[in-house]
């Protein structure tokens, strides 16, 4: 290689000066040259002298003029003294070659300029390949057939996932997984841009940056999805340390391929750590962990070659598997929701049956008959409260959840009926910092009924109900206290079963209900993560 001394006007030279000071090709130094320069390659002459049998591939980030054994070949762009005069050439070109030299040595001389480099890269990556036509034109196409098949399979998995996801509530990690799938589709497209389509050399730097950003995004999204999907809590400091490590890899490692491989390896190791920390769903976690560990182990073996066909094959298999497993989870969720709808229908019927149970209704009507004769005004109020009770029960039975205010109104209405019959007021006190709570219908009402049945109306009148509502982190906690009474076996009957079934149907896996004696009180606590 050598700088070209060219006048500011006139034609560009067709050959380098005889006394030119040639230097060995230094890819790092050449990466910074922008003004016109000369390159020269000398190769042993081929035994095949038929020009139709040979071709040359030249990779050079520059506009160039080519001379093969002194004969001009079709140029690549327009070499210029300035950026305005230069027209950028393609980064890779293929040229048919004339017969070899009779001297036993072929020589390629190139006059080039690189004014349109947007930023400097570490290496110029200038090289030539000479060989039979079929090998030159088919250069490195085999791995991209693998990448094309992998990309097609990943695209089909994405479409299937979108079709399954449509119209359904999103499950944890759905958006992260879709973003990961989109990156998996974008990576081979951007990577294959150069060998399959080609581009003008100024686009080489942006393409490498785009690839690096895609690698970085994939490295972040994969463990983020694993943590979200399997509910693994990660300390904020650990997240920051992981991101800082990725940034250090981006900044300190020299080569783009090395950075991409290091980012992927860190992502796979972090994902494996998260999967080992996760609890539950072993049938989901272990296949993913197997793929992740296999990819991490293959990285040191495959090295840089892992960043072409095999790399995309692995990514496609991993992302496709994640998409299909996620879609399978959605289908399972559909079946679970169908069972929940059946359970809710059964609970709604049970709520109505509990509200009009014959024993309670018979006692209330007997009391009403006495009040009509003895206290007509109380009897009238009792009839109104009874009608209001049935109306509230009918309304609640048609809904999956009700606001806390509606549930409290149902409880107070029931206590009004009992209080009118007893001629004593039964209180219901509420201490709530937050009122934006939604509950399965009847869960507080069932606890009130249990207290009236087991402790008795008189005891409940002497010791009013007290409800405290508070929020801790992502949980709503409702503590209800009432009279304890002396009846045995409280807490194991149909009321408790109704409460637990209602909570399980409304908030699968996100509820807890405990109750028991606490001094003179009977204490019940409900904890829910989906009450707002």
Residues 290, 178 share a domain: yes
Residues 319, 172 share a domain: yes
Residues 166, 130 share a domain: no
Asked if residue 228 lies in contact with residue 180, where contact means CB atoms within 8 angstroms, the answer is no
The three-state secondary structure class of 473 is coil
pLDDT tens profile 379-409: 888 888 878 877 887 777 778 788 999 989 9
Asked if residue 436 lies in contact with residue 402, where contact means CB atoms within 8 angstroms, the answer is no
As a whole number of angstroms, the distance between CA 480 and CA 466 comes to: 6
pLDDT of residue 468: 93
Strands 428-432 and 465-472 turn out to be parallel
Residues 325, 293 share a domain: yes
Residues 150, 172 share a domain: yes
Angle at Cα 63 formed by Cα 59 and Cα 64, nearest 5°? 75
Please report whether residue 397 resides in a domain.
yes
Residues 166, 288 share a domain: yes
- Core vs surface per residue 117-145: b (16+ CB within 10 A) or e: beeebeebebebebbeeeebeeeeeebbe
For residue 315, give the CATH number of its domain: 1.20.1070
Neighbours of 334 (CB within 10 A): 11
pLDDT of residue 140: 59
Please report whether residue 156 resides in a domain.
yes
As a whole number of angstroms, the distance between CA 111 and CA 15 comes to: 8
Residues 262, 200 share a domain: yes
* pLDDT confidence bin for 48, thresholds 50/70/90: very low
DSSP-derived secondary structure for 120-166 = --S----EEEEEEHHHHHTTTHHHHHHHHHHHHHHHHHHHHHHHHHT
Residues 507, 380 share a domain: yes
Please report whether residue 201 resides in a domain.
yes
Query: What is the pLDDT averaged over residues 133-160?
Result: 70
As a whole number of angstroms, the distance between CA 256 and CA 210 comes to: 11
Tally of domains within the chain: 3
Residues 59, 44 share a domain: yes
Please report whether residue 344 resides in a domain.
no
Strand partners, 71: 68
Q: Which of 137, 171, 195 is the last residue of a domain?
A: 137
- The structure tokens listed for 306 are 């892992």
Please report whether residue 340 resides in a domain.
no
Strands 521-528 and 511-518 turn out to be antiparallel
pLDDT of residue 46: 63
| Domain encompassing residue 101 | 2-137
* Selection from 226, 272, 263 nearest residue 242 by Cα: 263
Between 193 and 58, the more confident residue is 58
State what percent of residues in the chain have pLDDT above 90.
23
Residues 368, 316 share a domain: no
The three-state secondary structure class of 176 is helix
Query: What is the pLDDT averaged over residues 121-149?
Result: 76
Q: Residue 512 pLDDT > 80, yes or no?
A: yes
As a whole number of angstroms, the distance between CA 16 and CA 8 comes to: 16
The three-state secondary structure class of 415 is helix
Residues 414, 295 share a domain: no
* pLDDT confidence bin for 428, thresholds 50/70/90: very high
Q: Name every residue whose Cβ is closer than 8 Å to that of residue 197 and which is 6 or more positions away in sequence.
A: none
Mean pLDDT of all residues belonging to the chain: 81
Between 358 and 525, the more confident residue is 525
Between 53 and 427, the more confident residue is 427
Q: Residue 238 pLDDT > 60, yes or no?
A: yes
For residue 6, give the CATH number of its domain: 2.60.120
* pLDDT confidence bin for 136, thresholds 50/70/90: confident
Q: Residue 305 pLDDT > 50, yes or no?
A: no
pLDDT tens profile 319-378: 777 777 777 776 776 676 666 666 666 655 555 555 555 455 666 667 777 777 778 888
Please report whether residue 223 resides in a domain.
yes
As a whole number of angstroms, the distance between CA 441 and CA 348 comes to: 8
* Selection from 439, 431, 432 nearest residue 403 by Cα: 439
The secondary structure of 63-107, three-state, reads: EEEEEECCEEEEEECECCCCCCCCECCECEEEEECCCCCCCCEEE
End-to-end Cα separation, the chain, in angstroms = 71
Asked if residue 92 lies in contact with residue 59, where contact means CB atoms within 8 angstroms, the answer is yes
Residues 328, 194 share a domain: yes
Q: Which of 137, 152, 186 is the last residue of a domain?
A: 137
- The structure tokens listed for 318 are 């991993």
Neighbours of 348 (CB within 10 A): 20
The secondary structure of 280-333, three-state, reads: CCHHHHHHHHHHHHHHHHHHHHHHHHHHCHHHHHHHHHHHHHHHHHHHHHHHHH
As a whole number of angstroms, the distance between CA 119 and CA 121 comes to: 7
- The structure tokens listed for 412 are 């107070």
For residue 419, give the CATH number of its domain: 3.30.565.10
* Selection from 38, 116, 108 nearest residue 77 by Cα: 116
Please report whether residue 237 resides in a domain.
yes
Q: Residue 49 pLDDT > 50, yes or no?
A: no
DSSP-derived secondary structure for 335-366 = HHHHHHHHHHHHHHHHHHHHHT-HHHHHHHHH
Place of tokens 């070209």: 4
Asked if residue 157 lies in contact with residue 320, where contact means CB atoms within 8 angstroms, the answer is yes
Please report whether residue 348 resides in a domain.
no
Helix (H) or strand (E) holding 182: helix 174-192
Query: What is the pLDDT averaged over residues 31-47?
Result: 85
The secondary structure of 198-267, three-state, reads: CCEHHHHHHHHHHHHHHHHHHHHHHHHHHHHHCCCCCCHHHHHHHHHHHHHHHHHCCCHHHHHHHHHHHH
- The structure tokens listed for 312 are 């995309």
Neighbours of 286 (CB within 10 A): 11
Q: Which of 303, 335, 367 is the last residue of a domain?
A: 335
pLDDT of residue 343: 61
């Amino acid at each position: 290689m050598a700088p070209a001394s060219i006048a500011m006007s006139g034609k560009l030279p067709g050959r380098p000066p005889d006394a030119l000071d040639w230097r060995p090709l230094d890819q790092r130094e050449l990466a910074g040259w922008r003004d016109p320069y000369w390159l020269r390659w000398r190769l042993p002459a081929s035994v095949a002298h038929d020009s139709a049998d040979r071709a040359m591939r030249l990779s050079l980030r520059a506009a160039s003029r080519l001379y093969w054994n002194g004969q001009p070949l079709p140029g690549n762009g327009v070499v210029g003294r300035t950026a305005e005069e230069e027209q950028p050439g393609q980064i890779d070109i293929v040229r048919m070659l004339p017969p070899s030299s009779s001297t036993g040595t072929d020589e390629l001389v190139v006059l080039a300029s690189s004014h349109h480099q947007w930023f400097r890269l570490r290496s110029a990556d200038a090289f030539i390949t000479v060989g039979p036509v079929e090998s030159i034109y088919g250069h490195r196409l085999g791995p991209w057939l693998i990448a094309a098949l992998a990309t097609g399979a990943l695209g089909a998995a994405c479409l299937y996932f979108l079709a399954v996801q449509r119209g359904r509530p999103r499950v944890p990690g759905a958006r992260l997984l879709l973003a990961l799938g989109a990156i998996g589709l974008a990576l081979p497209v951007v990577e294959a841009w150069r060998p399959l389509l080609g581009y003008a050399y100024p686009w080489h730097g942006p393409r490498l940056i785009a690839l690096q950003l895609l690698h970085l995004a994939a490295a972040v999204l994969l463990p983020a999805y694993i943590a979200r999907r399997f509910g693994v809590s990660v300390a904020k400091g650990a997240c920051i340390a992981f991101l800082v490590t990725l940034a250090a890899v981006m900044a300190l490692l020299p080569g783009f391929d090395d950075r991409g491989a290091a980012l992927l390896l860190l992502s796979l190791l972090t994902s494996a750590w998260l999967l080992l920390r996760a609890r539950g769903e072993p049938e989901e976690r272990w296949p993913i962990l197997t793929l992740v560990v296999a990819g991490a182990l293959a990285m040191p073996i495959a090295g840089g070659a892992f960043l072409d066909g095999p790399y995309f094959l692995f990514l496609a298999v991993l992302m496709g598997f994640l998409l299909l497993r996620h879609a399978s989870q959605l289908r399972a969720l559909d079946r679970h929701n169908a069972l929940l709808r059946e359970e809710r229908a059964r609970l709604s019927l049970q709520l109505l049956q509990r509200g009009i149970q014959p024993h309670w209704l018979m006692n209330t009507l007997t009391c009403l008959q006495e009040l009509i004769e003895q206290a007509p005004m109380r009897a009238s109020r009792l009839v109104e409260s009874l009608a209001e009770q049935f109306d509230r029960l009918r309304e609640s039975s048609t809904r999956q959840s009700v606001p806390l205010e509606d549930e409290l109104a149902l409880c107070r209405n029931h206590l009004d009926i009992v209080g009118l019959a007893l001629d004593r007021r039964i209180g219901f006190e509420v201490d709530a910092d937050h009122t934006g709570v939604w509950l399965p219908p009847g869960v507080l009402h069932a606890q009130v009924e249990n207290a009236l049945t087991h402790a008795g109306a008189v005891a409940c009148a002497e010791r009013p109900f007290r409800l405290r509502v508070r929020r801790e982190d992502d949980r709503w906690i409702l503590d209800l206290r009432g009279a304890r009474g002396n009846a045995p076996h409280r807490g194991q009957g149909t009321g408790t079963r109704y409460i637990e079934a209602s909570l399980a149907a409304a908030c699968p896996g996100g509820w807890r209900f405990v109750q028991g004696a606490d001094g003179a009180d009977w204490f019940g606590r409900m904890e829910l993560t989906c009450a707002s």
